[in-house]
């Protein structure tokens, strides 16, 4: 067995070191682009929209009962606030006067599904059929076809988002959960 030993001059060692540092810097700069190109982008619903003004969007889900709907409309009118109501088609069918009143008060009436199923477990065709059934109900009552949907249970994945967008609609998600009190509120 023989061993070969190479001796490098200080100048060659410096050049080799500089080349190694350059390669590391190049790899570090190019790595995010390579990862982004290789990874598939997850589809997400709209959580919020950037605005220059300090505003918030208020929305309500209506899937059962209408006991408080008129009270909500009155409060919104009192403060000149507009909101979006996401309704299930059975709700709109059971409370057509409330559905019409929401639109007459200047609010949006949008889709929250027909059957309130778990969309993640449905095929794209089943999702589209369910969404269109609710859209048809709302359009029949108000003359306005919904362009937005809040998915039942807040559940979505790429195939749900793709199915919804395939019919020209946008999925909307909340970014503040009103039912979950902040931990500091529990001690107040």
Encode pLDDT of 1-11 as tens digits.
555 545 556 66
Look-up of token digits 């001059």: 9
Which residues constitute the domain of residue 24? Answer: 11-40
Mark whether 32 and 82 lie in a shared domain: no
Among the listed residues 108, 111, 130, 112, the one whose alpha carbon sits nearest the alpha carbon of residue 121: 130
The per-residue DSSP string of 1-65 comes to ---------HHHHHHHHHHHHHHHHHHHHHHHHHHHHHSPPPP--B-----SS-----EEEESS-
Q: If pLDDT is split at 50, 70 and 90, which confidence band does 184 have?
A: very low
What is the rounded average pLDDT of the residues 2-21? 56
Mark whether 155 and 121 lie in a shared domain: yes
What is the rounded average pLDDT of the residues 116-140? 94
Assess whether pLDDT exceeds 80 at residue 137: yes
- The pLDDT tens digits for 44-84 are 656 566 778 887 788 888 888 888 899 999 999 999 999 99
What is the number of other CB atoms lying within 10 angstroms of the CB of residue 133?
14
CATH number of domain containing 150: 3.20.20.370
- 121 assigned to some structural domain: yes
Assess whether pLDDT exceeds 60 at residue 33: no
Total domains in the chain come to: 2
CA distance 15 to 45: 51
């Amino acid at each position: 067995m023989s061993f070969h030993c190479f001796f490098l001059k200080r100048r060659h060692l410096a050049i080799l070191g500089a080349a190694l540092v350059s390669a590391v810097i190049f790899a570090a700069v190019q790595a995010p682009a390579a990862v982004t190109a290789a990874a598939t982008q997850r589809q997400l619903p709209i959580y919020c929209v950037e605005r220059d003004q300090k505003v918030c969007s208020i929305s309500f889900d209506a899937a059962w009962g209408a006991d408080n709907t008129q009270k909500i409309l009155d409060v919104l009118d009192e403060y000149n606030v507009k909101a979006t109501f996401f309704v299930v088609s059975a709700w709109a069918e059971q409370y057509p006067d409330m559905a019409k009143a929401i639109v007459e008060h200047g609010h949006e009436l949008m889709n929250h599904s027909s059957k309130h199923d778990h969309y993640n477990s449905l095929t794209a065709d089943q999702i589209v059929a369910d969404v269109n059934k609710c859209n048809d109900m709302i359009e029949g009552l108000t003359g306005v076809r919904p362009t937005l949907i809040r998915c039942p249970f807040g559940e979505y994945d790429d195939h749900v988002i793709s199915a919804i967008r395939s019919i020209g609609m946008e999925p909307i998600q909340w970014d503040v959960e009103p039912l979950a009190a902040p931990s500091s509120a529990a001690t107040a």
